[in-house]
Amino acid sequence: MAAVLGQNVPALASEDIVEQGLAGSDPVCERTVASFCALLGGFAGSVALTLGARGGVYIGGGIVPRLGRRFFESDFRKRFEAKGRFRPYLEAIPTAVIVDTLAALSGAMLALEQHEG
């Protein structure tokens, strides 16, 4: 992002970019977080179309849950739905953020229990 904006800034770890972007202490970091959310929205919308999603798209991982309200105020949803004639289809698909850090392990445990039983 710094190169795109023509700024010379030191390389930062993703945690630092998110922290400074959310704090509003660095405009390049803020723009990076905003771009990340928008790009993720475009990608998630494409995946939803490709897989024929209907019941929802759930976003998890390390970064998005830490963004809090900033994620929901971003262009994520706008870019999720920006697929031309497929907009009505995508508008009907809910999106949610998984905040449970152990959700994947809980799901795997449930799958194992069901397989054994």
Give percent of the chain above pLDDT 70. 99
Q: Are 61 and 23 in contact (CB under 8 A)?
A: no
Q: Which residues contact 91 (CB under 8 A, 6 or more apart)?
A: 81
Residue 5 forms part of a structural domain: no
Q: Which domain holds residue 44?
A: 14-116
Residue 22 forms part of a structural domain: yes
Mean pLDDT of 107-111: 84
pLDDT grade for 117, boundaries at 50, 70 and 90: low
Condensed to tens digits (0 to 9), the pLDDT of residues 38-77 reads 999 999 999 999 999 999 999 988 889 999 999 999 999 9
Report the number of distinct structural domains present in the chain: 1
Residue 16 has pLDDT above 80, yes or no: yes
What is the sign of the dihedral through the CA atoms of 33, 39, 45 and 48?
negative
Residue 90 forms part of a structural domain: yes
Residue 33 forms part of a structural domain: yes
Q: For residue 100, give the CATH number of its domain.
A: 3.40.367.20
Residue 89 forms part of a structural domain: yes
